[in-house]
A = this chain, B = another copy of it.
Amino acid sequence: MRVEYINPFVTSLKNTFQTMLNCDTKRGQVCLQDGSTSRHPVSGVIGLTGKAVGTVVLNLSENVALKAAATLLLTEMPSINDEVLDAVGELTNMVTGAAKAELEEYELKVSLPNVITGANHEIHFPSDVTPVCVPFETEWGKLTLEVGLAPVEEEAIV
A residues with CB within 8 A of B: 35, 45-50, 53-55, 82, 85-86, 89, 109-127, 129, 148-150, 157-158
Contacts and interface: CB of A to CB of B under 8 A. Distances in A.
B115 A118 contact: no
B117 A54 contact: no
A148 B112 contact: yes
Give the number of times this chain occurs in the complex, counting copies.
2
A136 to B, nearest CB: 21
A143 B116 CA distance: 18
Given A35-B82, A120-B118, A121-B121, A112 B45 contact: no
A45 B53 CA distance: 14
Contacts of A125: 112, 114
A52 to B, nearest CB: 9
A-B pairs, top 5 by smallest CB distance, nearest first, are A47-B47, A47-B111, A118-B121, A121-B121, A49-B109
Nearest to A90: B126
Contacts of A109: 49-50, 53, 109, 157-158
